[in-house]
Structure 1
Amino acid sequence: MPTPPFAQAQRQWYHWFMATARGAQAVRDDRTGFAHIHWENWAPPGWFDEATFQRVARAFDNPDWVDVTLHSYRARWDEAEPDPRSQWLEDKVKATATLSLPAIYIQGSVDGVNPPSASKAVPGKFAGPLRSSNSPAWVISRSARTRTRSRAISSSFSPAIPPTCPTPSTGAC
């Protein structure tokens, strides 16, 4: 992967932080704090509460969470060797110039890590039908309003994409 422009590198500071021995140690010492700052940075306001985060944070106590997380970011920047068990997949991904399947690409208009300007090359990665939308940050919830927005998004892309109905618990949209 090529080195990004300075502005993108600044948005992805945590990638570079984890590539250093001191950054890796900081993640090992406070994995929950490390994850929490990303939830705060990445989530639209109101998307999660502390109780939800604390329930999810138990997963960060998994013995291999830090090693897997560090390796994932280090390998994408060639700061670590890819896992040999997945080399076949890495090779296949790198050999794939474009995807020919139908796709929908939704870009958050206020994405603090990958803003719309960082996604200009996305259409060139698809040879099949591609619909895209630059959407504002939306809070994910199970409300009727969200289901209505989901249907509106789906129908705006293609009539061939059915709305997400019915709701399992009620059978209603």
Structure 2
Amino acid sequence: MPLTSLLYVRTSMLDIAYETHGPLDGEPVILLHGFPYDPRAYDAIAPVLAERGYRVLVPYLRGYGPTRFIHDQVMRSGQQAALAKDLLDFMDALAFPRVTLAGYDWGGRAACIVAALWPQRVRALVSGDGYNIQNIPQSISPRPPETEHRLWYQYYFHTQRGIDGLTANRRELCELLWALWSPTWAAGTGLYGQTAPSFDNPDFVEVVIHSYRHRFMYAPGDPALEWIEQALARQPTISVPSISLCGADDGVGPPPEEDEDAARFSGFYQRQVLPGVGHNIPQEAPQATLDALQQLLDQTDAQNRSR
């Protein structure tokens, strides 16, 4: 029978809580959620992969659910390098030499970074919205007004009012983001209550605020992670087999008609724009996510057999 349980693994910074499905000897697949979401995004995906024989792991990111920092002195960073280092440390702690990754939003960013900087550790990648690595040195450049207005919450978080608002109204604010970002997802309203408790993590506000300040250079990063940020400033390409899933109805980052990310991928790459789907791609389109993962797993299996 497939194993389904909540486990913890300790890294240098965190006790990372993760849900696991499937046989212990199965090929590992790690599924990564974004902001403001949690592992519930993969409830229709993880069990199916487990039934197919894969070992599926769905961690709670730093600042979410039961994941905890192990020391008070550890910086509550939400920068992209921290998310990627957490993923790499998670893989190391579980002694995974190579994994398949799927993620969107914050989780997609972590997955893209590990795939770009440590390609030997990644078998394949399914990324929500393509190349998810932030170009922080270019963040101060203004964007078109139709893009800027969708980022109101990020600018809100740059202020003390935003800190106080997220602290006092985290569940209401995140529920509003769910509605704005997935405007055609009728089921979202009924499912939000399953995820909202993950935002009660004591570090949620600090991690979120730092994430949205650091990406605009309004807050310093963790000095221990600066070497990763320097590597990301060069906008490295992703060479592992990859599929980008984009929600056509995404209310925060609607996909452009022309794929602007294709040049960032140097190996097999495919983009799929999903009609009727918003920002929460795996929960809104579990079958498309499953199909993309299985396509890459089958493809890499065939390549390995031919060698």
Tell me the TM-score normalized by structure 1: 0.74
RMSD, aligned α-carbons:
3.2
Provide the rounded CA distance (Å) in 1 between the counterparts of 2:236 and 2:288.
Answer: 36
1:13 corresponds, among 140, 146, 152, to 152
Equivalent in the alignment of 1:54: 193
1:75 corresponds, among 200, 214, 222, to 214
CA deviation vs aligned residue, 1:42-62 (integer Å, no higher than 9, x gap): 234233344x42332222221
How many residues in Structure 1 have an aligned counterpart in Structure 2?
158
For residues 53-132 of structure 1, the aligned pairs below 5 Å read 53-117=192-256, 120-132=259-271
Question: CA offset at residue 151 of structure 1?
Answer: 3.6
Change in CA separation of 1:88 and 1:153 when aligned onto 2, cut-off 3 Å: closer
Change in CA separation of 1:30 and 1:64 when aligned onto 2, cut-off 3 Å: same
Question: CA offset at residue 113 of structure 1?
Answer: 1.1
3-state SS in 1 of match to 2:299: coil
CA deviation vs aligned residue, 1:101-140 (integer Å, no higher than 9, x gap): 2211111111111112287421121122211111113486
CA deviation vs aligned residue, 1:68-119 (integer Å, no higher than 9, x gap): 0010011111111112232222222223432222211111111111112287
Change in CA separation of 1:146 and 1:10 when aligned onto 2, cut-off 3 Å: closer
Equivalent in the alignment of 1:171: none
Change in CA separation of 1:87 and 1:119 when aligned onto 2, cut-off 3 Å: farther
Task: Give unmatched runs, 5+ long, in structure 1.
Answer: 163-173
Q: Which has the higher helix share?
A: 1
Q: Which has the higher strand share?
A: 2
3-state SS in 1 of match to 2:256: helix
Q: Look up the equivalent residue of 1:15 and give its one-letter code.
A: Q
Q: Look up the equivalent residue of 2:156 and give its one-letter code.
A: F
Q: Percent identity?
A: 27
Q: Look up the equivalent residue of 1:47 and give its one-letter code.
A: A
Task: Give unmatched runs, 5+ long, in structure 2.
Answer: 1-138, 302-307
Q: Rg larger in 1 or in 2?
A: 1
Question: CA offset at residue 146 of structure 1?
Answer: 5.7
Tell me the TM-score normalized by structure 2: 0.45
3-state SS in 2 of match to 1:116: coil
Given that 2:157 and 2:213 are in contact with CA atoms closer than 8 Å, whether structure 1 keeps it comes out as yes
